[in-house]
Each structure stands twice: as C-alpha cells, then as structure tokens.
Amino acid sequence: MKKPDIKSIFDSFNHFNILIIGDVMIDSYMWGKVNRISPEAPVPIVMSAKQENRLGGAANVALNVQALGANPILCSVIGKDAKSKTFYSLLKKRNLTQEGIFEDESRKTTVKTRIIADNQQLLRVDEEIDKELTKETETKFINHILTILSDHSVNAIIFEDYDKGCITPELIRSVVEFANKNNIPTLVDPKKRNFMEYKNVTLFKPNFKELVEGSKIDIPKGDFDGIFRASQKLHSELKSKYLLITLSELGVFISYNGSYKTIPAEIRDIADVSGAGDTLIGTASLCIAAGLEPELLAGISNLAGGLVCEKVGVVPINKDQLLEESLEKFS
C-alpha cells in the first residue's frame, strides 16, 4: 500500500459517524498523601490534594473515535441524579453530544472513584447498578437508538459492553437486525453476560481470556492453531465476519474466511494498559467504515492500542502519531 493511500484512509475518518452503544461511567480520581495511620482502624489517612472526574467506559471509546477525527454518537442509560449532571458537564467539556443519552430514575449514574497516594492506588469505590434494564426502559432505549439510526447516516456501530446492564439481548438483536438491513457494520467489545448473544455482527473482539471461556476450549496463549480452532467455533456459533482477539504482549489475532493472521505487538515502553481495548475497537470501527482489508485493519488497530499504553492513565489516541507510525509500517 502506498503512502497516499494510508493518508487518504486517515483523512476519510473525518467524514464518519460512529454510533457507540454501551455502559458509560465517570472515572473519578482522588490524589493525596499518606502521613499517618488512622487511630480508628489500621488504615492509612489520605490527605486529599486534588480530585478529577473523567469520562469512562463506553464514553472513552467515543473520545478515541473523536480523537481520530470522526463524529461519535454515544448511546447509554444513566441515572437521573446528581452524578448525571457531572456526566453531562464532562460530555459538554469534550464537545460530545448528549443526544443518545437516556435517563432512568431507577438507576444510578456509574461512578468509579480511585483513591491514590504516592502514585499507588489504595482503594476503589464503585457506585453503580448492574442489573439489566427494566422491560419498559429497554423498549424506550431501543426505540431511542433506532430513531437516531434513522435520523443519521451512521457508518459503523460499536457495542461497548461492561456488564452493567445497559446492553440487553433484545437490544442487541434489534440493533444488529437494523444494521444488517441497512449495511452498517457492527463491532463488539464483549463481556461475559451477553457473550453469546452477539450473533451476525461484523467484528467480534474478545480478549484471550474471554475467548477461552466463551469457546470452552482450553488452549495456551501462544498456540495460534489452537486459538484458530477456538475462533472457528465462535465463528460458527456467532456467524461473525471477523474475530479480532487481543493477546496483550503477543499482539492481536484476526480470523476470517477460514484463515487467520497474527499481528505481533510493537516493542514499547509500557506505562499503563488501561483503555487500550477502547482505543483498539474505536480505531477498528473507522478502519471497517473505510473498507480496509482485515489484515491492515488489525495492524492499524494494534498500533493504536500499543500507542496509548505508552501514556499514564486512560488517554485517547493521538491521530498524527498513529498516522506517522502507520505510514512507516504499512507503506
């Protein structure tokens, strides 16, 4: 592939609308110092110095899609509570639309609070409801999504599932049916609860652990033939076009049309693997929308996931840096 082709692919990202459906959350951080132990219990006292709220979960996928130049439309269910106001303010701060956000008074807006002292996480406090949506809310939310899909020209749909109940089997069936009728590619970042519900999607992206559990085939991580057998079983059951498996330090594995390719991980100074999966599937959605061949799709997505691992904390991809490395590697 010639350099102008890679450049034009990245330029095409700017014209895409990507719908992201999934569990959103607020990642809250409290930083401080520990100078003494509490007299009330054998626990450290953290003197709080700074607090910060960030968009997390499926919202981080939206930030990565946005960072690559595309227009993300985030669809999720949050609570009608004080934290929802914080969530909306974070969307506004990052210039993300709230069009796809649906409120439910019976649910909480998910917040994960991390207490960090001297660069070490001491505690995480989760505020959430992870039950499935009620049937009434599910029906309203599905109709809300289908209305957005009808009103917008959408180039790809991502299901970003964190097992918090926002994505249900009926929602998956309804959206995938609409997408397939309208030739919109669908991508899935699955979790355990709905793992086998994602039938007839374009790209299914489990990690190695999820693949082993989902296929019920016990295989060593470096056994690519074994991974291929497990992937073929999933292809058969899910009827997915592509299976993109993340293997952390071993890179990624993509299977399609009865064959597979492995893309080794880039040698990097790993600072933090948080958010790499979000970056990878966000990048993959744009590559699919651009019509890339599976091996190049996997290669660029793998590069993107590796790049964000060089940064501390959950940060979106840098498009210029990804373009530069893609030109070097794939031209």
Please give the Cα distance from 74 to 100 (Å, whole number): 5
pTM over 0.75: yes
Report the CATH number at residue 170: 3.40.1190.20
The number of domains in the chain is: 1
Q: Which candidate in 118, 269, 278, 320 is catalytic?
A: 278
Condensed to tens digits (0 to 9), the pLDDT of residues 173-198 reads 999 999 999 999 999 999 989 999 99
> Can you give the residue range of the structural domain that contains 200?
3-26+57-115+130-330
How far is Cα 6 from Cα 323, in angstroms, rounded to an integer? 8
Residue 12 lies in a domain: yes
Question: Exposed/middle/buried for 225, CB within 10 Å: 0-12, 13-18, 19+?
Answer: exposed
Confidence class for position 274, pLDDT limits 50, 70, 90: low
What letters, b where the CB count within 10 A reaches 16 and e where it falls short, cover 259-275? ebebbebeeeeeeeebb
Q: Is residue 108 one of the residues assigned to a domain?
A: yes
User: Phi and psi for 71 in degrees, rounded to 5?
Assistant: -105, 110
Q: Would you state the pLDDT for residue 330?
A: 85
Residue pair 307/317 in contact by the 8 Å Cβ criterion: yes
Q: Is 278 a catalytic residue?
A: yes
Supply the DSSP string of 230-265, one letter for each residue. Answer: HHHHHHHHH--SEEEEE-GGG-EEEEETTEEEEEPP
> What band does 211 get if pLDDT is binned at 50, 70 and 90?
confident
**Measured between alpha carbons, how far is 95 from 92 in angstroms, rounded to an integer?**
5
pLDDT for the residue 40:
95
Spatial neighbors of 132 by CB under 8 A, at least 6 apart, are: 138, 165, 168
pLDDT score recorded for residue 272 = 38
SS3 at position 305: helix
pLDDT band of residue 322 (cuts 50, 70, 90) is: very high
Does residue 275 carry a pLDDT above 80? no
Residue 34 lies in a domain: no
pLDDT tier for residue 250 given thresholds of 50, 70 and 90? confident
pLDDT of residue 39: 94
Which CB contacts under 8 angstroms, 24+ apart, belong to 214-222? 214/190, 221/247, 221/250, 222/250
Q: What is the 3-state secondary structure (H, E, C) of 170-228?
A: HHHHHHHHHHHHCCCCEEEECCCCCHHHCCCCCEECCEHHHHHHHHCCCCCCCCHHHHH
Q: Work out the pLDDT band at 308, boundaries 50, 70, 90.
A: low
Residue 37 lies in a domain: no
CA 163 to chain centre: 12
List beta partners, residue 21.
Answer: 75, 159
Q: How far apart are the first and last CA of the chain?
A: 5
pLDDT value, residue 315 = 64
Q: Does residue 52 belong to any structural domain of this protein? A: no
pLDDT tens string 46-93: 999 999 999 999 999 999 999 999 999 999 999 999 999 999 999 999
**Beta carbons of 230 and 215 less than 8 angstroms apart:** yes
Instruction: Please give the average per-residue pLDDT across 250-274, as a whole number.
Output: 75
Tell me the C-alpha distance between 244 and 274, whole Å.
Answer: 19
Q: Are 30 and 115 within 8 A, CB to CB?
A: yes
Per DSSP, 151 falls in state H
Please tell me the predicted confidence (pLDDT) of residue 312: 45
Q: Is 35 helix (H, G, I), strand (E, B) or coil?
A: strand
| 236-247: average pLDDT | 94
44: in domain: no
| pLDDT tens for each residue of 86-130 | 999 999 999 999 999 999 999 999 999 999 998 888 999 999 999
Mean pLDDT of the chain: 90
Is-contact 292 9, C-beta < 8 A? yes
pLDDT category, 318, cuts 50, 70, 90? confident
pLDDT at 205 over 60: yes
Within a domain: 39: no
43 domain-assigned = no
pLDDT band, very low/low/confident/very high, at 270 (cuts 50, 70, 90): very low
